[in-house]
Structure 1
Amino acid sequence: MPETTRILLVEDHPLIRAGCRRLLAQRRNFDLQEADRGLAALELNKRHRPDILLLDLDLPDGNGLDLMPQLVADNAPVRIIILSMYGDSGRVSRALAKGAKGYVTKNDDPAAILTAIDKVLEGEVYLGQTVAQALALTQLQPETPGLAELGEREKAILDGLGDGKSLAEIAADLGVTYKTVANAAGLLKSKLRIRTSAALVKFAVERKSA
């Protein structure tokens, strides 16, 4: 563990930032920088090159997950720990797939942040108690027939439906026509053995919140 550990906290809520600041102040070797926006986080990440980056997912100017590739590209050694209100298995899996080394929810014991930093600096992956329980429950549930067969575009459409987006909004996000998305939604129903569009939307929402 380095003598000084540079930490960048990316969080837009002042009260949560203040709480994290007090918690991290317990360690004299922590050098803390703070950002309340994604753009500020990108700039501080390049300038100060933190060892640990505590990243909220819901920022005023974007999604923390979308920032991760650029943060790592600008500072390859950085270890990202997600600090979020949400601990559902879908978000956790996507964060880990993008390279996060830790995931702590704001419902966990505050000391979990310090534990996460210690474990991640030692080269381990750390999941807070809330997240670990969510993943364990997901692994106990049988996989929906056909889910493993979906392509990347189909998964993106399913994610969009789970976020409450219309087919037109999903088409705009993906840069394709409405007809392309509508046809893909029809194939999704067939692959997942779901009869109606309403049932498909219900499945997508439940999958995102699982």
Structure 2
Amino acid sequence: MNILIVDDHAVVREGYKALLNAMMPDCRIFDAENGAQTHRLLASSDIEILILDINLSNESGLVLAKIFLKRHPDLKIIFFSMFEDSVILHRAMQTGAMGYISKSSSPEILISAIKVVAKGQKYIERGLAVNLANQLLDTNVDIAAKLTKREFEIFIAIAMNKSRFDIADELGLSAKTVSNALTVIKRKLDAVPSQFSAIAAKHGYIGDAEFSASQSVSFVEKSEK
């Protein structure tokens, strides 16, 4: 079985790669630090299980997961994140992922998740599953619950400083559709695009808040060109 670990911290990647090599010697373990490297490995290495961090540098694993699965429908994704919020978990599973575990979990939990998901079954760490069940009906827990899947994708793209034209091309939409969605997103979140990066970072959907926030102000300017 081929397993790919995607995390933007080299120490994390190397640590878990060594762990899996030791505990699952029959598997081949690969690693990548971003979406571009992941795309290349998925295309060349017959990856069966992808262990994906949600919060990558200037990228969201939640958005990447849907792209990966569209291109590789047989891929099994396990989200491996420091975030234990039930709404983030819910949004993660809506991408089509098969599992979700916390980075604070024991190595045995990770191994169990891989084995269960490899069989085609879903795996959510027990404590997180309980929190999800307790909070799932609260639609005000997180911004993601206020947006449709498409609106959320556009929100994240804007938070990462992409223009409406880039977003339209990436999602297969017209620029007008993106602009209309943006109007709805601003109303639902009561925020302007220049605030999206800080909001997304606060909720754990993208990386460094200060860097993203300093860049996002250009979205409106780029969109009008």
Distance in 2 of aligned mates of 1:86 and 1:180: 29
Q: Residue 63 of structure 2 corresponds to which residue in structure 1?
A: 66
Question: What runs of 5+ residues in structure 2 fail to find an aligned partner?
Answer: 141-145, 168-176, 192-198, 205-225
Does the residue aligned with 1:39 lie in a helix, a strand or coil? helix
Q: Is the 8 A contact 1:37 1:61 kept in 2?
A: no
Is 2:106 the counterpart of 1:103?
no
Displacement of 1:107: 1.3
Percent identical residues: 26
CA contact (8 A) 1:46 1:74 kept: no
SS of 1:176 mapped into structure 2: helix
User: Is 1:176 matched with 2:179?
Assistant: yes
1:1-210 matches, cutoff 5 A: 5-25=1-21, 26-139=23-136, 152=148, 156=152, 175-176=178-179, 180-181=183-184, 185=187
| Separation (CA, whole Å) in 1 of partners of 2:8 and 2:128 | 22
AA partner of residue 112 (structure 1): I
Distance 1:131 1:70, change over 3 A: same
Q: Please say if residues 108 and 130 of structure 1, whose CA atoms lie closer than 8 Å, have aligned partners that are also in contact.
A: no
CA distance in 2, matches of 1:59, 1:81: 15
Partner of residue 194, structure 1: none
- Distance in 1 separating the partners of 2:80 and 2:9: 12
TM-score, with structure 2 as normaliser: 0.64
Deviation, 1:143, is 5.7
Counterpart Cα distance in 1 of 2:75 and 2:124: 17
Q: How far, CA to CA, are the matches of 1:92 and 1:53 in structure 2?
A: 17
The RMSD of aligned alpha carbons is: 3.7
Following TM superposition, by how much is the alpha carbon of 1:80 offset from its aligned partner in structure 2, in angstroms? 0.4
Quote how far apart the aligned CAs of 1:10 are. Answer: 0.5
- Structure-2 residue corresponding to 1:192: none
TM-score by length of 1: 0.68
**Structure 1 segments unaligned to the other structure (5+ residues):** 145-149, 190-196, 199-203
Count, aligned residues: 177
Contact 1:10–1:55 under 8 Å retained in 2: yes
- Offset from partner CA, 1:83-142 (integer Å, 9 cap, x none): 111121121111111110000111111221100000011121001134213213214x66
**Which one has a bigger Cα radius of gyration?**
1
What is the SS of the residue equivalent to 2:135?
helix
Q: Which whole-Å CA distance do the structure 2 matches of 1:127 and 1:102 have between them? A: 5
Alpha carbons of 1:45 and 1:60: their partners in 2 closer, same or farther (altered >3 Å)?
Answer: same
Give the Cα separation in 1 of the matches to 2:182 and 2:66: 31
